[in-house]
Each structure stands twice: as C-alpha cells, then as structure tokens.
Structure 1
Amino acid sequence: MTDADEPRAFVPVRIAVLTVSDTRTENDDRSGDTLVERLQAAGHILASRAIIQDDRAAIAAALRNWCADPEVDVVISTGGTGLTGRDVTVEAHRDVYEKEIDAFGTVFTHVSMAKIGTSAVQSRATGGVAEGTYLFALPGSPSACRDAWDEILVKQLDYRHKPCNFVEIMPRLDEHLRRK
C-alpha cells in the first residue's frame, strides 16, 4: 500500500456561518439553517453564526473578525451574491481576500447549471483565503447552499477526500506570515 492509498482519519474544521440579509432573522434564516445542519451532519464544528445586513463595510468587518479568530477555520456566507444594488457580499469578500479561489465560482456555476440551467449565470459565488482562513460566499437560497455544500464543500472540507482537499493545506495557508 502506498502513502496515497493509506486511509485518513476525519479532521473536523471550525466553520462560521454568516447570513447576509436585510430581512432574515434567526427564526426564518433557512439558508443559514441549511448550512449549519449540513456542516454538523458532516462532523464539523459550528464555530459561530451571525446575520448581518447588506452593508459592504459591515460584511468585510465580520469576515476580518472571524479571520483573526484562531477558533475559526472557514467562513461560509449566504446571501448578497446577486446582481442587484444591495448585493455587495462578493465585493466585501474580495476586500478581505489575500488570494481568490477562482475555480470555486466556476465549479459552483457548473453545479448550478445542472439544476437551474442558464439562470446560473446570475450567481457570483466566490471563494478565497485570508489570514489562513477559507472564505466562501454562496447565494441566499437554501437550494444553492445545499448544492454548494453537497457538491463541493463537503468534499473539499474533508481531509479524507482524494486526490486533494482544502483541509490538508490548511496548515500552510499562512506560511508566508511565519517566514523570517
């Protein structure tokens, strides 16, 4: 058996969930609930959860706070990724990113095309890294959150997923900050 064939143990990651909405509350945040249910069912830890209004500076501040928190490995936001004037989540994420994970949006669009056809072109889902923390911005519908989790994130946030995954490179995400 080669090293590549060796079974790996599951490594839970600590995930914060941010719902971006001017109208949602804890009582009716179905997208946030969908993400929390799925991440916990997969064995991960809900590190934090919040709902914030569609305000670019406030969203970026929340992302930065979680990136600075050593108890948060991943932040998943839902909402504000569309094309309307109030949709500023993508811009807030990009204000924080050190590196963008370009293929995340591409893969999400591919997954969405199979479900909603050309309407997928209206989504601006994005992913990136800042301060050693993964950041993902998903559309605000429960179905989009299910699709992103079930088709992409559940695999990439699982250390056992081969040939590669986000978890195995987590220790190296901020190595540039440790160099002398």
Structure 2
Amino acid sequence: MSSSQILGTSCGQPISMFLYVCLYVCPVMRAAATSDSTSTESAGLTQSTRKQEIIKMTEQLIEAINNGDFEAYTRICDPGLTSFEPEALGNLVEGMDFHKFYFENLLSKNSKPVHTTILNPHVHLIGEDAACIAYIRLTQYIDGQGRPRSCQSEETRVWHRRDAKWLNVHFHCSGAPAAPLQ
C-alpha cells in the first residue's frame, strides 16, 4: 500500500496512510513509550474517579425523576436525548417532550415516597468524554391502595461530557416502566 492510498475519510475528506500514521498511530505509540508505572497508577485512579462520577450523575438523574423535578432532569440530559423505554412501546423517542408529559402528569403529582436503588452498576469509559453505564434499577413505592410495592428495570445510559459537564444523551430501559403507575 503506498502512502497516498486512501484509508477512509475524516470530515468527508480522504485520509492517506501517511496522514493516518502521523495523526493517529504516532501519538498513541509516543504516549505508550513515555508512560511509566506512576502514570499508569494515576490513570487507574482517574478512571476509577470518572466511573464514580458517572454513577453519581446517574443517581442524581434518578433522584430528579423520583422527585418529579423536570428542571433538574433537563439540566442533566441533553436536549436531543434519545431513548427506548417501556412507555414508548418499543419506539425510539427523541427530545424532552415525551418525558415532560410524565413529569407534568404523573411524577410531579406523586406525594407518596419513591426509593430507587442502583444495583450492580458497570461503567464503560469511552475515551475522556464519553461513558456508558449499565445497571439494575430497583424501585420501591406505595401503590394507590397504600401497599408497598417494588419494580425492577434493566437500564443502560450513555453519557457525554461537554464543557466539563456530563449529559445523558441516550438511555435504554427494559422491564417495568421506570415511573410506577400509582
């Protein structure tokens, strides 16, 4: 393969082998060659810290849902949030209007306690500014007859950091609806 052969495109422009090696391979190799055990240890600490950040953001998002706080929810979610969830009946939902309906008509009117536990969270870091978390969401609530109930859902959320702020850009929920119908 000559250095002028096309490997792919970047921003619609062709990438030659030479350009690919200069832009992508050399920086990675240089970083690997200059790293030592101290930087490896600090990278591990940084990864652990970032994973904890994602868990914390997920907990804050679920707290906003449980409290019926749409304003807090919109601060944590990207305006173009996409989702697959039981309430959408298998359809991909985009934007905040679908979620706003539930906040205005169900979640904000709920005066009964709701408690959610995130079980077995597993975070995948995808570069510096993206992450994915998968977990079991166990929700305890009081039904319309005053009886305590529990429901479970399996959730995955994709987070993207922009301007030093993590935003939920996509989620997938399987199982029981996230908002228990009272």
What TM-score, normalized to structure 2?
0.23
More helix by share: 1
Q: Which has the higher relative contact order, 1 or 2, with Cα contacts under 8 A spaced 6 or more apart?
A: 1
Counting strand residues as a fraction of each chain, which structure ranks higher? 2
Q: Return the index of the structure with the highest Cα Rg.
A: 2
TM-score (norm 1): 0.24
